[in-house]
Structure 1
């Protein structure tokens, strides 16, 4: 049977209440039980002290010095608050007994050396019996005094208490269940509101936010967490829509250029050199599309988590020598110099393939946006285990820095759409840095260039 959350709360509280109530009732009953018989035992001790005063000792014999104590009315009657007395010597021979005992006798236990109390039945009466050793002044046991009093009243009280507790137990649980159910319903009412609020969220309506409960408790924290999640989802949808729009635009531009070029070619016959020129333009546009699609595929793989890293010690100096050779045509075309200030001892733990992609994207970024005829500097700091790649280009306006790693984002001015590229390089850099547990930061100042800093974890 599946229980609702409210019912589970009520059930768990009911079980806890049942255990606690049972323990409380048991303690109450035990206290009353012990108190009742403690009072009876005290009455027996008092009676014992009075009876002992009536006894005298002659050698090893016990003599009743005051018979009046033994002939009191309570020792004669059997029905109303009787007190039964019996005196025996240390051999168990009867010396005296009260008249209300008639022919009955209490048992004799020669092993009793201290007062002993227990329950028994005499003539269908419930009796509390106390047996006391009778000692002379030297402490020698000469006999045994048995005193019995009725425990009927105490038994009735205990019976009534048991009945009351048996009846009160289920009633208490019922009242507790109703109270807890009501309290649980009131407590989870804000949760029900959260459920209704989240049900109103859809792909077409991600701007819905849940109202915050007035009390600063766990439910309010949950509502805040859900609202934060909804905000991230909304931002994600917006980024996806913007990305789709930007990607469509990026693909539409080369496609339009290809279409326009081909339409010009088919209008009329032209010289072969003209055809070659236009075909080269088409190939360039196709290369742009290929680069964009390749970067999109890389980004999709990184974001899906469908990549596995094979980390190994990587010498940064060797990687940069390879990248320098790879980017030499671009450096020569823009008359730029690449300065490597990386010692051979600079070693990091990383996946070599992904690290090369990351560093190549940063170098390509500096190559595209650095000043023509300028410098690119790659510097390693062993103390902070950081690598800095800096150019001396026009820099990036401060308002664009927070968005620099967004997909297909390009700052204006120096990073305008006139600069070749897919707009995905830095997004790929950020994803790889996250996978490699590399901290990445960017600093830029207009007119002074841009620097990217990578902080590697310790080897």
Structure 2
């Protein structure tokens, strides 16, 4: 099956529809003219018959003209110019009198079609004929037959028919060429889109399809394609980032595992040494699991999620769930948690997935870096268009020079001075990406040795009345 181009399909579909419409119009035109011409001819015949019925009478049983003046008119004498033929018949069907233009010819009386207009033949030429009875004293005494030539009528109808038949394919051909040209012009933007998308490869994902000037369906299509390319580019960038980060961060624990196992296989050792090295290996495996989990979280963020009742939660509810999960860690460090909900309304909800990641990481860090028997204060406030979350700890704080770097992947402030605090440096990087994904503002204030305050303004909210 041959491949038909889109513009040819458009042109073909258009021409098929047009062909049907034009054919219907032409048929209507032809038959309108046909019935109009024949109706006018029939009316003229009826008029002539009624006119002549008053000009005849019975004479010795035959139907004859009272006065022959009417038959001397040109239309009754001549054959060339709009002839009107008249023939009188007696009651028994025998011819009685006729118009001079009939000469040696006669009109045929058809008693079956008295009162009707019929098409018949006179001298090998088509005529239109009408016959009515001559009635006197309630009885039919004879018949008047009138007829007119159909030559001029048939010439008009045939000329019209030939004109329509000849013009039909010419019109269709012209319309096809016009529609083909218009279709070709209409798909130029589509061809541009195709050419642009063909140029876009994995190594050239930054190029985008140019938006059409008119805000129409093609404009919406291009916007959708560009949005799709943005998502694809983001996914590939995240994939590359995940691969790069994973290979970078997993190299250290894998090296530790390799070195530890190499030491163990060199010579037989005491059970205590095997237990110690096995514990070290388990710690490194757990660390790798944490790294992979956090890297996966970084890689799967989708910007600007659609918020609805199913995927949103009130901020206070998310915080309470996190504190409940972290209850053992809080008790181990004997921390005091202060939760202020004075200016908070539960009708405002945020993305449950992103809110959980942001708040869990911030609360986890506050617990992790707080001093023993310290305090953590959490304040949640809501206004018309946002929810603000503020968490303040009394922990070790962050150096001023490190504040601008804490959101970078794998960065840990003063990691060597606080080796007892486990982590891989991805938590705040995840928080930043999650906040950006839902258009939330994230800020930090810290003083080394005194504690840290994180503030999150959730602006992408859903109001539940």
Relative to the length of structure 2, the TM-score reads 0.65
Equivalent-residue separation in structure 2 for 1:194 and 1:25 (angstroms): 42
Deviation of the 1:129 alpha carbon = 1.7
Deviation of the 1:170 alpha carbon = 1.8
Q: Is the 8 A contact 2:126 2:150 kept in 1?
A: yes
Q: Is the 8 A contact 2:337 2:378 kept in 1?
A: yes
Q: How does 1:107-146 map to 2 (within 5 A)?
A: 107-109=110-112, 112=115, 116-132=116-132, 144-146=143-145
1:170 corresponds in structure 2 to: 169
1:66 corresponds in structure 2 to: 67
Equivalent-residue separation in structure 1 for 2:57 and 2:29 (angstroms): 44
Task: Indicate whether 1:40 and 2:37 are aligned.
Answer: no
Q: Is the 8 A contact 1:440 1:455 kept in 2?
A: no
The secondary structure found in structure 1 opposite 2:111 is: coil
Distance 1:455 1:274, change over 3 A: farther
Q: Is the 8 A contact 1:331 1:367 kept in 2?
A: no
Equivalent-residue separation in structure 2 for 1:323 and 1:229 (angstroms): 35
Equivalent-residue separation in structure 2 for 1:412 and 1:128 (angstroms): 110
1:106 corresponds in structure 2 to: 109
Equivalent-residue separation in structure 2 for 1:322 and 1:197 (angstroms): 49
Distance 1:295 1:70, change over 3 A: same
Q: Is the 8 A contact 2:242 2:295 kept in 1?
A: no
The secondary structure found in structure 1 opposite 2:69 is: helix
Aligned residue-pair number:
416
Task: Indicate whether 1:367 and 2:370 are aligned.
Answer: no
Distance 1:337 1:91, change over 3 A: farther
Deviation of the 1:146 alpha carbon = 2.4
Q: Is the 8 A contact 2:410 2:425 kept in 1?
A: no
Distance 1:187 1:451, change over 3 A: closer
Distance 1:74 1:301, change over 3 A: closer
Q: How does 1:3-402 map to 2 (within 5 A)?
A: 3-55=4-56, 64-78=65-79, 81-88=82-89, 96-99=97-100, 100=102, 102-109=105-112, 112=115, 116-132=116-132, 144-255=143-254, 283-293=282-292, 327-336=326-335, 363=360, 366-370=363-367, 372=370, 373-375=374-376, 391-393=391-393
Deviation of the 1:320 alpha carbon = 11
| Structure 1: stretches of 5+ with no match in the other structure | 304-310, 312-318, 342-354, 382-386, 432-438
Deviation of the 1:191 alpha carbon = 1.8
Equivalent-residue separation in structure 2 for 1:189 and 1:451 (angstroms): 48
Equivalent-residue separation in structure 2 for 1:173 and 1:30 (angstroms): 21
Deviation digits for residues 87-106 of structure 1, max 9, x if unmatched?
Answer: 45777675543351745432
Equivalent-residue separation in structure 1 for 2:413 and 2:55 (angstroms): 123
Distance 1:140 1:441, change over 3 A: farther
Q: How does 1:428-447 map to 2 (within 5 A)?
A: 446=444
Q: Is the 8 A contact 2:377 2:391 kept in 1?
A: yes
Deviation digits for residues 9-47 of structure 1, max 9, x if unmatched?
Answer: 121111112112211211221222123223323432443
Equivalent-residue separation in structure 2 for 1:175 and 1:77 (angstroms): 47
Equivalent-residue separation in structure 2 for 1:167 and 1:177 (angstroms): 16
Distance 1:68 1:409, change over 3 A: farther
The secondary structure found in structure 2 opposite 1:70 is: helix
Q: Which moved more, 1:5-14 or 1:362-371?
A: 362-371
2:347 corresponds in structure 1 to: none
Q: Which moved more, 1:66-75 or 1:440-449?
A: 440-449
Q: Is the 8 A contact 2:361 2:427 kept in 1?
A: no
Distance 1:140 1:225, change over 3 A: farther
Q: Is the 8 A contact 2:83 2:148 kept in 1?
A: yes
1:350 corresponds in structure 2 to: none
Relative to the length of structure 1, the TM-score reads 0.66
Deviation of the 1:145 alpha carbon = 3.1
Q: Is the 8 A contact 1:89 1:95 kept in 2?
A: yes
